[in-house]
Amino acid sequence: MTASIDFGVLFGASGRHLAGWRFPGGNAGAELDVDEAIRLAQRYEGAGFSALFVADVVSIWGEHLDSLSRTTRASYFEPITLLSTLAAVTERIGLVATATTSYNEPFTIARKFASLDHISQGRAGWNVVTSVVPLEAANFGRDAHYGHAERYARATEFVDAVQGLWDTVADDAFPRDKESGIYLDRAGRRALNYRGEHLATAGPLNISRPPQGHPVIFQAGASDTGRAFAARYGEVIFAGPRSLEEARTYRAALDEALRAEGRTHDDVRVWPGLTPIIGSTHEEAARLRDQLNDLLHDDVLRRVIQDNVGDVDFSDFDLDAPLPELPESNRSKSRAASILSLAREEGLTLRQLGVRWAGGGVVGTPEEIADHIQEWVQAGVADGFNLAFPYLPDSADVFIDTVLPELERRGIWRPHYGATLRDTLGLPRPDLTIAQLQEASAS
């Protein structure tokens, strides 16, 4: 049997398109509807998607309430809490939660993801982010967010510490032997005593080793610093190239960064994002895209760009003029660069840019969407895709019912769940026996 690509799906009950909730049949009010979340998770698992991915920001998404009051981003579940619920009503699908290294402590994160991995019997993944929304800082006692370099330096220590904590307990540390009365073999657990420049934690962890050894690390760094970080730790990498050419450039740069870390192309899975807008004809799909985009309010168009490129107030910017020159911001460097180059290359007005960013996607028939997927897979730039359905539940249903069978017919994709998320993705498990732990402690 040929290898299959994987599909992750951005999990949010209202869809990726910022006006998707307003669309006829769109899931307005569903973002906190746990029954709908369960229904969707089970639908995605039934379809054979490899993982659910829950994004997160530890504040409201923006300061501009005129814009925020027009999207479902005003209210959302904390990811690990949501995924713990979904773990209990699914059996195979991976559960990937976003957690920031800027506003957490390694011990809390190591413990929570170990718990999620146990609750789900080996299906947890951690999307490691460093935070990009300035409001997050104030929720954690800081006047301003860490600078880009500093937050990645902290993130490096953070992931070392979390993985170190998962390695404070051997796989066979718990004999739970009624006869001898030994529950935990003391030789199977040791302290970590991690002390870095930015953080410190002693350990050991107060839970047995995660079923996967380490929950799977997801990452999306794309700037030079971010890509180096992704190459060091990432096992699945979310990428956001706008074209096949950009995807090729990105993959080549990532492979080089992987080599610098002593890793190879095959050590990571790269999943570009994909928002499919599907119609029974190309024209119908384009009409659907236009209908969705017509529902985007001017405030949303202005802010979706402002919130990604800078710390400058866009209130007085003319939506129908090109984007003015902007100072460098402390947000996502790669995302800002991508938006700015799109604007300049195609000479877009702020309105056109906002529409592209808030509502962009691949538009076409099921065959055309399958062609796009096939082209990227065959070019060697995608091991899977991170799907973000524009509105729910209908656009997910259309993809599942029309594109998946086409991909299966072409031999590109098939349902292929393993016992754990690592197995599903073909990633090795880091084993750690008591003997290995003792050897490591001695050296």
Ligand X SMILES: Cc1cc2nc3c(=O)[nH]c(=O)nc-3n(C[C@H](O)[C@H](O)[C@H](O)COP(=O)(O)O)c2cc1C
CB of 218 to ligand X, least distance (A): 9
16 versus 123: smaller Cβ distance to ligand X: 16
How far apart CA 343 and CA 349 sit, in angstroms, is: 7
Helix (H) or strand (E) run with residue 98 in it: strand 94-100
CB of 131 to ligand X, least distance (A): 5
* Beta pairing partners, 53: 10, 96
Helix (H) or strand (E) run with residue 8 in it: strand 6-10
Residue 357 CB-density burial (10 A; 0-12 exposed, 13-18 middle, 19+ buried) = buried
Residue whose CB is nearest to ligand X in the complex, by number: 226
Whether the CB-CB separation of 392 and 41 falls below 8 Å is answered with no
Helix (H) or strand (E) run with residue 276 in it: strand 276-278
CB of 408 to ligand X, least distance (A): 25
CB of 182 to ligand X, least distance (A): 42
129 versus 292: smaller Cβ distance to ligand X: 129
CB of 398 to ligand X, least distance (A): 21
User: Tokens standing for 101?
Assistant: 């290294």
226 versus 359: smaller Cβ distance to ligand X: 226
Of 132, 67, 58, nearest in space to 334 by CA: 132
The DSSP result for 143-161, as a single string, is SSPPPHHHHHHHHHHHHHH
CB of 221 to ligand X, least distance (A): 4
Query: Phi/psi zone of residue 203: left (φ > 0), alpha (ψ -120 to 50 degrees), beta?
Result: left
212 versus 329: smaller Cβ distance to ligand X: 329
CB of 181 to ligand X, least distance (A): 46
4 versus 329: smaller Cβ distance to ligand X: 329
CB of 236 to ligand X, least distance (A): 10
**Which residues lie closer than 8 Å to 207 by C-beta, 6 or more apart?**
111, 114, 115, 118, 169
CB of 304 to ligand X, least distance (A): 14
Residues that bind ligand X (CB under 6 A): 55-57, 98, 129, 131-132, 220-223, 226, 238, 240, 273, 332-335, 386
Of 59, 242, 258, 251, nearest in space to 140 by CA: 59
213 versus 226: smaller Cβ distance to ligand X: 226
List the alpha helices (DSSP H) in 167-240: 224-233
CB of 274 to ligand X, least distance (A): 10
28 versus 57: smaller Cβ distance to ligand X: 57
- CA 425, distance to chain mean position in Å, is 15
How far apart CA 390 and CA 369 sit, in angstroms, is: 14
* Whole-number Cα distances in Å, 293 to 25, 47, 279, 351, 440: 15, 28, 16, 11, 57
CB of 220 to ligand X, least distance (A): 4
How far apart CA 133 and CA 68 sit, in angstroms, is: 13
User: Tokens standing for 287?
Assistant: 């009409």
Of 61, 39, 35, nearest in space to 52 by CA: 39
How far apart CA 367 and CA 99 sit, in angstroms, is: 36
Whether the CB-CB separation of 124 and 79 falls below 8 Å is answered with no
129 versus 169: smaller Cβ distance to ligand X: 129
16 versus 209: smaller Cβ distance to ligand X: 16
Residue 370 CB-density burial (10 A; 0-12 exposed, 13-18 middle, 19+ buried) = buried
Whether the CB-CB separation of 236 and 271 falls below 8 Å is answered with yes
204 versus 240: smaller Cβ distance to ligand X: 240
114 versus 387: smaller Cβ distance to ligand X: 387
